Structure formats: C-alpha cells, structure tokens
C-alpha cells in the first residue's frame, strides 16, 4: 500500500491524513475482491523496517491501526458482512501491547469466519518470516537433531526437495518449513499489486511469490480504485491465457 505520505504531500493534507484515506481505499479494494470472488487477500500494513521511522510517525500509525482494528470488528464491517477470517502475520511481539492485544482479539473474533481470509502483515518482513520458520522447524525436530549429531551419521539436516532428497534422508523438509510460515493459512499469491509505480518487492512474500504476477500501477495507494482492480485481474488472466496457449503448443 505504497504512497500514503506522498498523497498527503501532493494534496497538501494534514499529517497522517494519507494513511487514513489509505485505509478507506483498502476497504473499497476488499469489497471489490470479495464481490468478485477473490478469497485470499494479504496486505503489507507495517514492515519491521517501518519501526525505523520517527517515533511520532510510528506512534501515529499504531494509533491508526488500533482504531481501525476496532472498526473492522464492528458488526456491519466488511469483515463481518463477507465472512472474512482476519489473521495478523508477522513478529507480533514487536508490537505495543494494546495493538498486539487488539490484533489477537480480532483473530479470535473472526476465527470461525470461513468465506475468505484477510492476512494483515504487521511487524513483518519476508526474511524475518523465513528465519522464524527455519528456527521453528529446527526446534520441532531438536531431539532428532541432537540424536543425529551424537550418532555421527551422515544425514543432511535440511532438504529443499528434488535430487538430494532421493540420495539422503533429511530431517527438515520443505513442507516442515512452509508449515511454520506466518503465511501458512493462505495459498501463494497469484498477483501482487504495489502502487506508486514501484516494482520492488521490498521484503514482502519473497518465499511465496516465485510464480506471481507483479502489477504496479502508477497511482498512489489512496488513489487506487476499481479501474486498477480490473486491470490487475485482466492482465493476470491475459498472461495466464498466453502461457497456457504456449504450454499446449510446445
């Protein structure tokens, strides 16, 4: 959701206004998604890098987050109207207690919703997610790892699948790591939309985006609307249709 501060400057608004309008833009985009049958949406709301911003800005973003979490829990909110399960993904221990508790409350309150999943990435970076998943996988198999070390057997520790899996037994497999990803509740994305014309992933879903279509409209996030939503879907379908045709011909 790139370009909220630039939108504030561009429209000469009060500090923080761009992020508030950005939240409304998010609600509109979610409505389009759910109306058109997109069941999994993941948003990059606050990265671990964002903690390096000025304390005032971090505080104001956290206040906004808190206010908006309360809003999405209301009976008539988009989340409840469309039966959306909300998941906060990231290193939630880095959040202040009120925000972390509100996030946990939101996850609990929507846990039984089953029509769609909204993953909100906060205190998130992809490299942190991967490190966390590898550490959890090692911890899970710690007894076996120590046994292996003491026996001196020539086994591999981590397997990424493929050839080496045939010739060696491995304790930690790709599926073990994936199960511990913050993103485990959602399938890999088909489309990543990054506004303001940026084509970098900036440490977002690096593991999950291997086969993903990146769409980067030039609008700032608060300006995003139905036109960009439609373009994202149509371009994705066009590329898929073309790749399918190529595959059938070869």
Ligand X SMILES: CC(C)=CCC/C(C)=C/CC/C(C)=C/COP(=O)(O)OP(=O)(O)O
Smallest distance, ligand X to C-beta of residue 21, A: 8
Interacting residue with ligand X among 29, 65, 205, 219 (CB under 6 A)? 65
Q: Binding marks (x or -) toward ligand X, 33..52, rule CB under 6 A?
A: ----------x-xx---x--
If one counts every other C-beta atom within 10 angstroms of the C-beta of residue 157, the result is 15
d(CA 133, CA 188): 16
Nearer of residues 137 and 195 to ligand X, judged by Cβ:
195
Output the CA–CA distances (angstroms, integers) from residue 111 to 118, 165, 213, in the order listed. 11, 37, 29
Kindly name the residue from 2, 63, 169, 176 that is annotated as catalytic. 2
The yes or no reply on residue 64 touching ligand X (CB under 6 A) is yes
Nearer of residues 57 and 140 to ligand X, judged by Cβ:
57
Q: What is the sign, positive or negative, of the torsion defined by CA atoms of 3, 27, 211, 185?
A: positive
- DSSP assignment of 181-219 equals SGGGGSPPPSEEE--TT----TTSSTTTTTTPEEE--SS
Nearer of residues 61 and 172 to ligand X, judged by Cβ:
61
Q: How many residues belong to the site for ligand X (CB under 6 A)?
A: 20
The yes or no reply on residue 22 touching ligand X (CB under 6 A) is yes
Own/partner long-range contacts of 97-104 (Cβ < 8 Å, ≥24 apart):
98/66, 99/62, 99/65, 99/66, 99/69, 102/65, 102/66, 102/69, 102/70, 103/69
Output the CA–CA distances (angstroms, integers) from residue 5 to 46, 65, 84, 226, in the order listed. 14, 16, 28, 22
The yes or no reply on residue 204 touching ligand X (CB under 6 A) is no
Considering only residues 158 to 197 of the shown chain, the ones binding ligand X according to CB under 6 A are: none
Considering only residues 67 to 106 of the shown chain, the ones binding ligand X according to CB under 6 A are: 68-69
Considering only residues 120 to 159 of the shown chain, the ones binding ligand X according to CB under 6 A are: 120
176 is known as an active-site residue: no
Nearer of residues 88 and 137 to ligand X, judged by Cβ:
88
Q: Which residues are at the interface with ligand X (CB under 6 A)?
A: 1-6, 19, 22-23, 26, 43, 45-46, 50, 61, 64-65, 68-69, 120
């Amino acid at each position: 959701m790139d370009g909220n501060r630039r939108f504030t400057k561009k429209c000469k608004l009060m500090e923080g206004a761009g992020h508030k309008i950005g939240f409304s833009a998010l609600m509109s985009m979610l409505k389009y998604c759910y109306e058109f049958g997109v069941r999994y949406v993941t948003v990059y709301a606050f990265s671990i890098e964002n903690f390096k911003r000025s304390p005032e800005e971090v505080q104001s973003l956290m206040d906004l987050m808190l206010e908006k979490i309360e809003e999405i829990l209301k009976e008539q909110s988009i989340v409840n109207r469309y039966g959306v399960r909300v998941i906060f993904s990231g290193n939630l221990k880095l959040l202040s207690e009120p925000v972390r508790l509100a996030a946990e409350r939101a996850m609990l309150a929507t846990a039984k919703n089953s029509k769609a999943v909204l993953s909100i990435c906060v205190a998130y970076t992809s490299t942190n997610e991967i490190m966390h998943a590898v550490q959890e996988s090692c911890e899970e198999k710690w007894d076996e790892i120590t046994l292996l070390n003491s026996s001196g057997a020539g086994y591999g520790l981590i397997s990424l699948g493929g050839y080496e899996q045939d010739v060696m037994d491995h304790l930690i497999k790709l599926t073990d790591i994936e199960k511990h990803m913050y993103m485990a509740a959602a399938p890999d994305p088909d489309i990543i939309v990054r506004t303001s014309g940026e084509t970098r992933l900036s440490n977002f879903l690096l593991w999950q985006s291997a086969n993903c279509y990146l769409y980067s409209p030039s609008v700032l996030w608060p300006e995003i609307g139905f036109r960009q939503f439609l373009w994202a879907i149509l371009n994705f379908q066009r590329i898929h249709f073309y790749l399918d045709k190529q595959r059938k011909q070869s």
